Structure 1
Amino acid sequence: MTQIMNADFAYCDGDIETNRSTTTPLGAMIEQRYSRRATLRSGGGAAAAALLGGTMLSACDGGDFDSSPTVVSIGSSGSTTAGRVVTLTAEAKDDGALTAAWVQTAGPPVALSGANTNAASFIAPGVSAPTVLTFQYNATDTSGQIGRDTVSVTIAPAAIGFAAVAKNKNDVVTVPAGYTVTIGGRTGDPIAAGVAAYANNGTDTNFAQRVGDQHDGLNYFGLSATGTRDDASSTRGLIVQNYENILTQYLHVGGSTSPGGVRPESEAIKEIEAHGVGVLEYVEGAGRSWAYVPASSFNRRITPNTPMTFSGPVRGTDYLVTPYSTDGTAGRGTINNCANGSTAWATYLTCEENWAGYFRRSGDNANRTAKEITALARAGVSSSTGSYGWSTVVAADSGNTLFRRWDARATTGGTATTDWRNEPNQFGWVVEIDPYVPTSTPRKRTALGRFNHEGCWPGNMVAGRKPAWYMGDDAQNEYLYKFVSATPWTANDAAATDRLAMGDKYLDTGILYVAVFNANGTGEWRPLVFGTGPLTASNATYPFASQADVLVNTRLAADALGATPMDRPEWTAVNPATGELYLTLTNNSSRTPARVDATNPRAYLDPPSTSRSNRNGHILRLREAGDTTEALTFAWDIYAFGAGSDLDPTNINLSGLTADNDFSSPDGLRFGRASNVSGQNKPFVWLQTDDGAFTDVTNNQMLLGLPGSVNDGGTRTVSNADGAGGTVTAVTRIGAAPGGNLRRFLIGPVDCEITGVDSTPDGRTLFVGVQHPGEGGTPTAPTSNWPATQASGTAPAGTRPRSALVVITKNDGGVVGL
């Protein structure tokens, strides 16, 4: 998803009316009561008004007190929306000591905090319609006599609870009023004992024990107080995050040296180790302040040098044979890790995206077969140097293959065990990681195919049904895929302790499908199975030899099946209530008027660009037939079209976006967790951008949406001017206009991409990745100084920017965004 151009290397990724008050009005009913021991002046017993950004309710409306010498209570009933904090207050008067207690008497059960005090609070639960909750306040005196009163609150369905953040180009992370931003792990921060603090001047080494660069997709995994898996823990957990790429101008003292020649070993190893994945323990401290634990035993870096094992149909085949693994069962590392996924048994799925450009290969066609040449070209393995020139390193140890492996040229007279011709086949996979076991060996799941994996998101898991994972291939005119396991889901497997064995069970055997979209709003999944249809040895374009061949060359197989080319299929996300799939289509500079279709219907001018293309992207959604992951057909429409609010509403700004929600180049995507209000009933979705078309107006951003369902809108005819006086039309299916149900929540610092998002299970803490701030700068003139600017908006001149994780909490303790 990153789009980077720096002085050292040309690396290109993938473009190959609502109430905005923060309080809730209270009802006006006020009632005074008098005990026989104390007569109070008017208002003297008023409830303490502890207001926590939501609703303050005080005990009232109860029946008459008996002669017990205990209570005076005053208050009112009220209403609020799901996910907001409600505070119950009361006051009791007596000549002696009193014991207070709140008890819920009606409505969906909630967890009361401070139940044995005069002020209790709770988070309003998720509801699908207005629902009344009732609470009783009891005050007991030393003789055991009790005074009681009750209060009720009506909970409405969840709604977006903040005013839209205005577009800006500030060098800070901007969030709505009432929220706090904390900086988590930054590029270079140490993650093991004894590792020096990061100097951030290019002299630092040992990235195998530091936070990597360019933070991307992430997931939170809960930890108990004793350090075991706890899916409900919202105060301690492991964050697993991808480190997609690097900014070499800031990693080295003066930027990289010899970018076009032989690279120094010290620079190359730093660059390699700064890629990959990290596992960091995070803990909530005093005042809900979060921080990572630098010396946690769970902390781990998984780099392009980390040993891996292969599983699934391609394991042990000739395609994976290298000098490192002569039997084709093992490999080293993972690279260009972009989006992600997860499993119900609590493992992390990291996805290898733009891996092809890292290899040096061109010039060896004479030593390749015709099939190999076709396969390498379709995968994009064609560079004459590799993205960072790592293969040019002349290592001090002549037997060191950490650098030689990036030279994938087939040598004259060589074989797969004497040169690195097959090393590209070791990348482009989904990799499963057990975050709870730092010594475990990650597994590359070959049944899920090999391409520019952007993400791998699971469909909703239903007992007895075969589970599925949805995957985009992030490049222009590539495809959407679905892997359906051969094994029906058993709910008890979610609690398995041998988590990678569960991956063997569900991810190593099954069928990989590719999507074909029809103009009438329907579609079908076509299986990539060797021996069926065109996937045979008689295929003229590429004669397939086996199922392993199909999976190694997934793109060629999908081509043969007639898959629908899409506008850079990136992140996938699944609505936890409906099972509907959402897919971000970031943009496509090669989508011309002559090539529009129903699912990619726009090719237009968006100044200052002078070419017609889909410059702003859109978000497609899909509903499986019968709402089952096993379905072979589906319905689709487009949830929202990216565009500036000032663009033509008839043919470009089709979703009617406004200054509060206009966006461009949608990328990161995630629904709220089903464990809290944001993912229940009608779930909310976080939307992140990776944009270059809109950066003259605003830095990249994150929005919160409350989407509807597939086919909640209608059809629309889009007219695209062809630049020669004519027009090309496409009829598409568009969802209901988002309106106030899509709102800008966050703006990032200069030159950044906002990417990667998850929350704690309770939804009260949000984790967000900020990638490559200042990517357009130089070592001596950085264009951003973030995150050093976050506290005050300024930093010392020349401060180098760093990618980082940010932690966002709502000051009143409620669910973020609601």
Structure 2
Amino acid sequence: MTDFTPQPEDNVYDSNSSGNSEFKDLFNKNITRRDLISKSAGAAVALTLAATLTGCNDENNSSVNEGSPSVPAPEHSKAPSSLQFKTVDKNTLNAFTVPEGYQARVLYALGDPLTEGLAEWDDNNIPSGSSFALRSGDNHDGMSFFGMNKAKGNYDGSVSDEGLLVLNHEYINQAELHPSNNSIKAAIRAEDEVIREVNCHGVSILHVLKDPITQEVKINKSSLFNRRITAASKIEFSGPVKGHALLQTKLSPEGLFTLGTHNNCGNGYTPWGTYLTTEENFDGYLARNSNDDRDLQVEYALTRYKIKKGQSAQYKWNTPQASLLPQEMYQRWNSSITAATAAEDFRHSANSFGWIVEIDPFDNRQLPVKRTALGRFAHEDCRASRAMAGQALAFYMGDDSTGEYIYKYVSDAKWEVKDINGGYTAGDKYLNSGTLYVAKFDFDERSQQASGEWLELNIRDPRIAGYAAYQFADQADVLVHSRLAADALGATKMDRPEWCAVNPNNGEVYVTLTNNSNRGKAYPTDAANPRHYFDNDSGSTSLKGNINGHIIRLREQNEQTSATEFVWDIFLFGAEADALKNVNLSGLSDANDFSSPDGMWFDPRGVLWIQTDDGAYTDETNCMMLAALPGQTGDGQIAAAFSGSGTQTTPSGAILDDSKLRRFLTGPSGCEITGVTMTPDYKAIFVNVQHPGGIWPSNHPAALNSSKGIGTRPRSATVVITRINGKEIAAEALEQANSAKT
């Protein structure tokens, strides 16, 4: 999630009042609406793509591969006891900086082709909009690596040298994307530009190869596994809301599918080997007419998701005069009543977005699926619990807006290892039937105990059934309007819940709370969101509230994924090293201070990688990624946090010195560091650079730049980091220990 971007894309709002040629020739054909829908599995602007991909894998992708764990089990012998790589200093360079002994290669940047035969990106000759159905999208974000069984062409979680890298493209930087003479500010947008923008959203799937000696990673551009899923791709609904009246649109009068996924921010992966992409701030993409009158309760629900009457769409995708595609492809971005029934217009188009989308990277025959049982909100991330035989699976999710909530979905089905490589069939089993919960945090001042409760979002609860602000029709309505149901239950309003991470060693759940300038004002401080302070060395009082964010963690009762109670503490408080002690409660130093934690992921060894998306500390340092070796919930002490004119008591995690928490990299100026994944051998780690400033990556060392784009426009990109000696990432302490033994 981007907080401080070159343009107001993210819309971090507070609504909680409680060898292919260019594709232009494809459009010289007459295309019916039925043809458009039936052929748009890859992208609606690349209508023949699905046919070219069919049959790229002769093996049965749904076959079970019991010998390969979906996520490698924690390797305790490989877990470092301390961090010994040289800390990267804070800096504001327009460069990507890694520790001594490491190198960073730009792998995949905006506009790069996924296949042979497409021209490289060129600032002065921007490729056609349709060609971006097979090019990198913009603003790379969440990301996962899936090892590949080469013989079967399916998932193998133990393979490192060949696999599929799957990554999100959250949004666009319009000024960097189009020719200098463009229609960005025009009332009616140029169609080719809108097609380019639509295709620059969504997901990329890349077939990558890693040299087992040098660890260099390359994209196999001849592979038919390479593909894009965009804001125009056909995607099915599945689960309790499928076919509901609230999903009816002109494109799918039965409410069975939609076109597109966009604003894809955080991510996740399943134990059976599929990718989960999240749909975050979808509201800014939709327009509503000024005369779009609704029932008061419907209007309240739309406003709660910030689909306000009279608003214009940020990118104005609803405005082009169609010549390449049917007009409906643009009309669908206007969520207004324009016809007699919902089956004849797009009044419910907003309900098509805000879901978790499951993608099987190895299966291009079947459509991706929006899993409605997991609820609808501004999904930032979706992380699975440890897969333990006989236990239900839990998926943890944040709703990234000010004052929103933390959610958990628990499957009805118990985990069975035979479902590995079960694809969408396994997804149906675990993700279509289960229970959705929202978190409520509590702290008992007298006993000094921190506890929490998972509240079930179910219409059987009288607080939901009798909610005055909105009358829910049924359980499907509860899932479509999860935020309103959470309001009704009195869930704890958090400081922008973003990424989630699950510790593979003990199952504890970590959630980043990036910041909240209104904490202490519109939102009183509480133990789970305890700080209200000014940036005391900034010379200004404009930075206030919870400026630097924090990371909360919880442990389920009896370590059961289906538990409805938990204990918690605050693992880390973001702060500047020289901040007041009751602001810098985690005792951060110049080697590990940070602000606005956002992306976060545990590797299978138990190393926690923390990424930042900051605007409060960028006068001193660019955004960064740190490595941490956490303890466990309750390992610290009760602290008194700066809270306006007083203090707020809160449970704080153990202080980590720089052997347990240190800065691993900084990104180029202007960027957010986001998305992180690693090969199972721990020898290549991937991160994404979103919306860099300056001229990066064209100024990245040529020998380490696989993107052959021409020009100096800043472009978002995926970077792969390896050690020059080819050894494991962040394993220096283990190597020193082994060397001492010999």
Say yes or no: TM over 0.5.
Answer: yes
Q: Pick one of 722, 727, 730 that aligns with 1:817.
A: 730
- TM-superposed CA distance for 1:479, in Å, is 0.2
Question: Partners of 1:718 and 1:179 in 2: how far apart?
Answer: 38
1:623 aligns with 2:585: no
Aligned residue among 131, 145, 158 for 1:220: 145
Is 1:223–1:229's contact at 8 Å kept on the other side of the alignment?
yes
Distance 1:15 1:316, change over 3 A: closer
- Counting only pairs closer than 5 Å after superposition, residues 627-646 of structure 1 correspond to structure 2 as 627-646=559-578
Q: Is the 8 A contact 2:95 2:668 kept in 1?
A: yes
Deviates more, 1:341-350 or 1:392-401: 392-401
How far residue 612 of structure 1 moved from its aligned partner, in angstroms, is 2.5
- Measured at CA, do residues 624 and 796 of structure 1 come closer, stay the same or move farther in structure 2, by a change above 3 Å? closer
Task: Supply the distance in 1 between the matched residues of 2:597 and 2:433 (Cα, whole angstroms).
Answer: 32
Opposite residue 553 of structure 1, the aligned amino acid is H
Q: Which has the higher contact order (CA 8 A, sep 6+)?
A: 2
Matched, 1:452 2:450: no
Whether the aligned pair in 2 keeps the contact of 1:13 and 1:354 (CA below 8 Å) is yes
* Residues 1:353 and 2:280 are matched in the alignment: yes
SS in 2 for 1:455: strand
- Of 702, 725, 738 in structure 1, the residue corresponding to residue 656 of structure 2 is 738
Contact map agreement 2:155 2:421 (CA 8 A) in 1? no
Q: Distance in 2 between matches of 1:389 and 1:428?
A: 19
Aligned equivalent of 1:501, options 414, 425, 432: 425
Please report how far the alpha carbon of residue 789 of structure 1 lies from its aligned counterpart in structure 2 after TM superposition.
Answer: 2.7
Partner of 1:335: 262
Matched, 1:208 2:125: no
Q: CA deviation at 1:739?
A: 1.3
Structure 1 residue 716 corresponds to structure 2 residue 647: no
1:215-271 Cα deviation digits (max 9, x unpaired): 100000011333332221111110000000111111111164242511111111101
| Preserved CA contact (<8 Å) 1:234 1:760 | yes
Seen in structure 2, the aligned counterparts of structure 1 residues 269 and 345 have a Cα distance that, compared at 3 Å, is same
Corresponding residue to 2:587 among 656, 665, 668:
656
Aligned counterparts of 2:142 and 2:570: Cα–Cα separation in 1: 24
Tell me the equivalent position of 1:72.
Answer: none
Query: 1:75-104 deviations in whole A, cap 9, x for unaligned?
Result: xxxxxxxxxxxxxxxxxxxxxxxxxxxxxx
Give the Å deviation of 1:645.
0.3
**Superposed displacement of residue 385, structure 1:** 1.5
Q: Which residue number corresponds to residue 550 of structure 1?
A: 478
Quick one: distance in 2 between partners of 1:189 and 1:318?
40
Question: Whole-Å Cα distance in 1 between the matches of residues 299 and 384 of structure 2?
Answer: 34
- The residue type equivalent to 1:275 in the other structure is H
Whether contact under 8 Å (1:364, 1:410) holds in the other structure is: no
What residue number does 2:670 align with? Answer: 751
1:163-182 paired onto structure 2 within 5 Å: 163-182=86-105
Q: Distance in 1 between matches of 2:86 and 2:650?
A: 32
SS of equivalent residue, structure 1 residue 467: strand
- Same amino acid, percent of matched pairs: 45
Partner of 2:22: none
**Residues in 2 aligned to 1:812 and 1:785: alpha-carbon distance in whole angstroms:** 26
SS state of the match for residue 86, structure 2?
coil
Mapped to 1, the partners of 2:688 and 2:366 lie a distance apart of 25
Matches within 5 A, 1:212-611: 212-226=137-151, 227-254=153-180, 256-285=182-211, 287-366=214-293, 368-382=294-308, 384-396=311-323, 399-411=326-338, 414-496=340-422, 499-520=423-444, 521-536=450-465, 538-592=466-520, 595-606=524-535, 607=538, 608-611=540-543
Partner of 1:2: 2
**Which shows bigger deviation, 595-604 or 804-813?**
804-813
Instruction: State the SS of the aligned residue for 2:155.
Output: coil
Q: Deviations over 1:618-653 (max 9, x none)?
A: 00000000011010000000000001101101x211
* Separation (CA, whole Å) in 2 of partners of 1:172 and 1:256: 29
What is the aligned-residue RMSD (CA, Å)?
2.1
Residue type at the aligned position of 2:100: A
**Equivalent residue for 2:40?**
none
> CA–CA distance in 1 between the matches of 2:685 and 2:363?
24
CA distance in 2, matches of 1:336, 1:514: 23
* Kept after mapping to 2: 8 A contact 1:259/1:389: no
Contact 1:192/1:299, CA 8 A, preserved across alignment:
yes
Secondary structure of 2:185 counterpart: coil
| Runs of 4+, deviation exceeding 6 Å | 792-798
Unaligned regions of 5+ residues in structure 2, if any?
15-73, 445-449, 732-742
C-alpha distance after superposition, 1:41-71 (max 9, x if no partner): xxxxxxxxxxxxxxxxxxxxxxxxxxxxxxx
SS in 2 for 1:559: helix
Counterpart CA distance in 2 for 1:401 and 1:773 is 34
Contact 1:215 1:803 survives alignment (8 Å):
yes
What corresponds to 1:773 in structure 2?
A: 692
Aligned position for 2:713: 800
- CA-CA distance at 1:288 after TM superposition: 2.1
Distance 1:243 1:720 in 2: 37
1: CA distance between counterparts of 2:587 and 2:106?
A: 35
2:680 aligned residue: 761
Q: Distance in 2 between matches of 1:768 and 1:211?
A: 15
CA change 1:694–1:232 in 2 (3 A) is same
More divergent stretch after superposition (439-448 vs 601-610): 601-610
Counterpart of 2:734? Answer: none
- With over 3 angstroms needed to count, the CA separation of the structure-2 counterparts of 1:579 and 1:501, relative to structure 1, is same
Displacement of 1:159:
2.1
Distance 2:79 2:187 in 1: 64
Counterpart in the other structure of 2:67:
none
Q: Distance in 1 between matches of 2:324 and 2:687?
A: 41
Q: After superposition, what is the alpha-carbon deviation per residue over 1:185-237, rounded to whole angstroms, capped at 9, x for unaligned? A: 11111112322221133621211110111110000001133333222111111
- Please state how far the C-alpha of 1:440 moved relative to its aligned partner: 2.2
Q: Secondary structure at the match of 1:768?
A: strand
Write the distance in 1 (CA, Å) between the matches of 2:186 and 2:646: 44
1:12 corresponds to which residue?
10
Alignment partner, residue 47 of structure 2: none
Q: Name the residue aligned to 1:198.
A: 121
Corresponding residue of 2:618: 695
1:325 and 1:231, CA in 2 relative to 1: closer, same or farther beyond 3 A?
same
User: What secondary structure sits across from 1:635 in the alignment?
Assistant: strand
- Equivalent pair of 1:428/1:452 in contact (CA under 8 Å): yes
Q: Distance in 1 between matches of 2:164 and 2:306?
A: 35
Distance 1:398 1:174 in 2: 44
| One-letter amino acid of the structure 2 residue matched with residue 500 of structure 1 | Y
CA drift of 1:12 comes to 3.1
**Separation of aligned partners in 1, 2:495 and 2:429:** 33
> Is the contact made by 1:212 and 1:275 (CA closer than 8 Å) also made in structure 2?
yes
* Number of residues of Structure 1 aligned to a counterpart in Structure 2: 655
Contact 1:390-1:403 within 8 A present in 2 as well? yes
CA offset digits 1:495-537 (Å, max 9, x no partner): 43xx10000000000100000000231000000011213121x
Matched residues in 2 for 1:362 and 1:728: separation?
Answer: 47
TM-score where L is the length of structure 2:
0.85
Find the aligned partners of 2:337 and 2:709 in 1 and give their Cα distance.
50
Which of the numbers 690, 696, 708 marks the counterpart of 1:785? Answer: 696
Which residue identity lines up with residue 666 of structure 2 in the other structure?
I
Shift of 1:745: 0.3
Checking the alignment, whether the CA contact within 8 Å between 2:235 and 2:260 is kept in structure 1 is: yes
Shift of 1:557: 0.2
Residues 317 and 548 in structure 1, CA contact (< 8 A), matched pair in contact too: yes
The structure that has the greater radius of gyration is 1
Distance 2:459 2:243 in 1: 18
TM-score (norm 1): 0.78
